[in-house]
């Protein structure tokens, strides 16, 4: 199986921005830390559990999860996924720098972005049916991390995440899509595959759409 990456930007690419004031030396993100943004919707719980049972706890990557959550209910996803991995699993907090071998989950009724490796939470501006939280976070991740960004789309309906993968690929990062036949709902994986964003990541070969 071969792997592919997006083309790295050359020429006029500007140097990395300094850390924002909120990311103090004590709370600064790791240098050159690969950050994995993972989106899922319907059927996502099972897919997340399978994902983290298959991934090593010492990969050196940070994982940021963006599931479609009910905005009116407290999420139990952190507790459930903690049983599937030895990595710490926490609900994301505003102005927290991500760290290697940690899992962060977006809270209910929040939008999330990342700037200089630091999570940025805000209240949604759009009505629930119009939001595309996975696209929004993956685009932010692409802008912030460039070739160190990794985008993953798991089980879910509709198309959220497809445009986010395009941004990551364009920034030189890596994209991964769950093999549709293993997804409880294959809408989101199929959308990404139809758009051509099906680049595999070795640690989860059995979930990936095969690439010749």
Residues paired with residue 24 on neighbouring β-strands, in sequence order: none
Residue 86 vs residues 54, 55, 56, 104, 119: alpha-carbon distances, Å: 12, 10, 9, 14, 22
Residues classed as catalytic: 41, 68, 160
**Angle made by CA atoms 189, 52, 123, in degrees to the nearest 5:** 70
Contacts of 118 (CB under 8 A, 6+ apart): 19, 20, 22, 23, 27, 29, 95, 96, 97, 98
Distance CA 188, CA 161 (A): 7
- What single-letter DSSP state applies at residue 157? S
Residue with tokens 């994902």: 51
Distance CA 42, CA 152 (A): 15
Distance CA 83, CA 64 (A): 17
Distance CA 134, CA 45 (A): 15
């Amino acid at each position: 199986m071969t792997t592919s990456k997006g083309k790295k930007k050359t020429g006029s690419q500007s140097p990395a921005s300094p850390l924002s004031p909120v990311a103090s030396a004590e709370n600064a993100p790791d240098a050159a830390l690969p950050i994995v943004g993972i989106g899922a919707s319907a059927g996502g719980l099972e897919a997340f559990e399978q994902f983290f049972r298959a991934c090593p706890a010492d990969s050196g990557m940070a994982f940021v999860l963006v599931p479609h959550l009910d905005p009116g209910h407290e999420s139990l996803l952190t507790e459930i996924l903690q049983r599937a991995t030895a990595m710490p699993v926490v609900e994301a907090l505003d102005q927290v720098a991500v760290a290697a071998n940690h899992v962060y989950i977006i809270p209910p009724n929040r939008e999330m972005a990342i700037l200089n490796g630091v999570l940025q939470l805000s209240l949604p501006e759009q009505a629930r049916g119009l939001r595309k939280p996975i696209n929004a976070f993956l685009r932010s991740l692409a802008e912030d991390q460039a070739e160190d960004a990794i985008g993953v789309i798991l089980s879910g309906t509709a198309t959220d995440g497809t445009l986010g993968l395009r941004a990551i690929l364009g920034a030189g990062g890596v994209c991964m899509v769950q093999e549709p036949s293993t997804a409880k709902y294959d809408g989101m994986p199929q959308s990404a595959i139809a758009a051509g964003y099906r680049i595999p990541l070795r640690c989860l070969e059995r979930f990936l759409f095969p690439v010749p």
